[in-house]
Chain A
Amino acid sequence: MLKVEDLSVFYGQIQALKSISFEVKQGEVVTLIGANGAGKSTVLKTISGLLRGRNGSSITFMGQDISRMEPHRIVERGLSHVPEGRRIFLQMSVLENLQMGAYTGAGDMEADIEQVFERFPRLRERQRQVAGTLSGGEQQMLAIGRALMSRPKLMMLDEPSMGLAPILIEQIFDIITELNAAGTTILLVEQNARMALSVAHRGYVLETGRVVLADTAQALLNSDAVKKAYLGG
């Protein structure tokens, strides 16, 4: 469904990604794990068109090259990105945030909002509230709900567990599993490697801009290298 080949990305002179390749197949949950600064967010931003890969990089989504497409066109094709730090519109109401998520007009907005409210009842209670006043967990739910509004075929989440209490992290990962069961393919970026690998089918380990390991989630959970570096021994 999504295929990244030889992707290199630079910030000025600094090379953040060094010719990485990976793939996400329809129906999978795939996770990218790696330490701070490994380049995980850079990967997602490049896929969604916010950054550009160097010549020779290729990104194909559902058989189409999207590496030169504008971000809004990529969203229209069914790829949505829940960015690191949530990035909800703090000055807009919860409802307006969801409306912005439906900007591409992919589905029936009223019905989709209703679905998000069913999944996240807290958001229904707070729909008129300005998003900046939500708690961290509620903001993450809003960010996910907003991304669902575009009816994505593939959803990319960048560290959805960041800054959340363990019980909320649990909840977020349950939601990811549910979404996947309902047919959404997931590309999940996480520092919380144990959690990520427990919900994923396959995983890639990123180190300073390179893919150093690629395997099934189970195999990565059992691998000594991963245990030592990311699972605390």
Chain B
Amino acid sequence: MIFISQLINGVHVGSIYALVALGYSMVYGIIKLINFAHGDIIMVASYAVWYGAVRMGLPTWAAILLSIVICPLLGMLIEKIAYKPLRGSARISLLITAIGVSFLLQNLARMIFTATPQSLPALIPGKLSVGPWTLSYTTLVTIAVAVVMMLCLNLLVSRTKMGKAMRAVSEDTEAAQLMGINVNHTISFTFAIGSGLAAVAAVLYCCSYPQVSPTMGSLLGLKAFVAAVLGGIGSIPGAMVGGFVIGIAESLTKGYIHSGLADALVFLILIVVLIVRPAGLMGVHRPEKV
């Protein structure tokens, strides 16, 4: 009984991690950048929901829509302004820039909205009871939405022209250019999709933890990053699997060991993966200099 409910909790948070991890993995696949600002997209998305719903008094769906429209635009803007000028320069410069963008976003949020956390109304109240079982609608919706998003992403990447272009650019940028693929567009598009998924994840996250603050994206982002590494960074199915594994591991730790250890466990997993299988569960091993 406890096991089942912890497992469901794990799948619930895991699906949020997976959505965020996809953004890390796709961006890494295409420009070999660990986009440290990705977690902060979650924060921006959450503030957008809060601003829309609480400050502007929009209906919930409109606030959510606002957030899901803003984030892809922000992702593309960040890429254009901060990362594109550095294309072709040392990877460490890119990495440091990403950390800078992360600080910039957090501090902008602190300036505009202050450091005080803001509360959101419950987005999906209520729960489903069947006999002795109860399941919150939030959990149901979270898992369902995440799975649908992942299926859509799979279709996009495997079937559409743009999705195939993304894979081609990830595998060999020069060869992709020789096919007539516009690499700039493809990279922008990847950022848009990754940030859009992060926005969806943020909305789902806010359903469970209805509070927004300037640094809320850090830990969530970091855990999702671990999930991406666990799955094999650059691999889309890897990010999904990694997200669920991290979510479940975390939740079982909370249920059976100690809730204080849950975060530590995530990073323990990271260390073990890096030692034992640096390419991750589903990553292709390519020796790579950083």
The interface of chain A, by Cβ under 8 A from chain B, is 48-50, 70-72, 75-76, 80-81, 83, 87-92, 96, 99-101, 103-104, 146, 150
Q: A92-B164, A96-B164, A99-B164 are in contact. Are A87 and B172 (CB under 8 A)?
A: yes
A92 to B171, CA, bound (A): 9
Stretch from B110-118, B176-184, B243-251 contacting the other chain: B176-184
Cβ-defined contact, B181 with A89, below 8 A: no
Given contacts A92-B164, A100-B164, contact A75 B171 (CB under 8 A): no
Q: Is the CB of A89 within 8 A of B167?
A: yes
Are A83 and B178 in contact (CB-based, < 8 A)?
Answer: yes
In the bound complex, residues from chain A placing their C-beta under 8 Å from that of B284 are: 91
- Contact check, A103 vs B174: say whether CB atoms are below 8 A apart: no
Question: Assuming A100-B164, A103-B161, A103-B165, is B171 touching A70 (CB within 8 A)?
Answer: no
Which residues of A lie under 8 Å from residue B181 when comparing CB positions? 72, 100, 103
Measured CB to CB, the closest approach of chain B to A115, in angstroms, equals: 18
Q: B168 near A: Cβ within 8 Å?
A: yes
With a CB–CB cut-off of 8 A, which chain B residues contact A87? 172, 174-175, 178
In the complex, what residue of chain A is closest to B176 when comparing beta carbons? A100
Closest to B186 in A: A72
The answer to whether B179 touches A100 (Cβ under 8 A) is yes
In the bound assembly, the distance between CA atoms of A71 and B161 in angstroms comes to 18
- Main SS class of interface, A: loop
- Select B167's contact among A50, A75, A92, A146, beta carbons within 8 Å: A92
B180 touches A76 (CB 8 A): yes
Is B171 a contact of A89 with CB atoms below 8 Å?
A: yes
Shortest distance from the beta carbon of B238 to any chain A beta carbon, whole Å: 13
| Most chain A Cβ neighbours within 10 Å, of B165, B167, B175, B176 | B175
Complex contact A71–B177 (CB within 8 A): yes
8 A-B contacts, Cβ less than 8 Å apart?
A: A50-B174, A72-B177, A75-B179, A83-B174, A100-B164, A101-B179, A103-B165, A104-B180
- Having A99-B161, A101-B179, one finds 19 other A-B pairs with CB under 8 Å, namely A48-B177, A50-B178, A71-B177, A72-B177, A72-B182, A75-B179, A75-B180, A80-B178, A83-B174, A87-B172, A89-B175, A91-B284, A92-B164, A92-B167, A99-B164, A100-B179, A100-B181, A103-B161, A104-B180
Asked if A89 and B168 sit within 8 Å, CB to CB, the answer is: yes
Q: How far is the CB of B13 from chain A (nearest CB, A)?
A: 31
With both chains docked as a complex, state the minimum distance between the C-beta of B165 and any C-beta of chain A, in angstroms: 7
B165 surroundings in chain A (CB, below 8 A): 100, 103
Residues on A with beta carbons closer than 8 Å to the beta carbon of B175: 83, 87-89
Kindly identify, within residues 140 to 176 of chain B, every residue whose CB is under 8 Å from any CB belonging to chain A: 161, 164-165, 167-168, 171-172, 174-176
Query: What separation, in Å, do the CA atoms of A127 and B107 have in the docked complex?
Result: 52
Q: In the A-B complex, list the 8 residue pairs whose CB atoms are closest, starting with the nearest.
A: A75-B180, A104-B180, A71-B177, A87-B175, A103-B180, A72-B180, A103-B179, A100-B179
Chain A residues with CB under 8 Å of B178's CB are: 48, 50, 71, 75, 80-81, 83, 87
Please give, as numbers and ranges, the residues of chain B lying within 8 Å of A88 by CB-CB distance: 175
Q: Quote the shortest CB–CB distance from B173 to chain A (angstroms).
A: 10
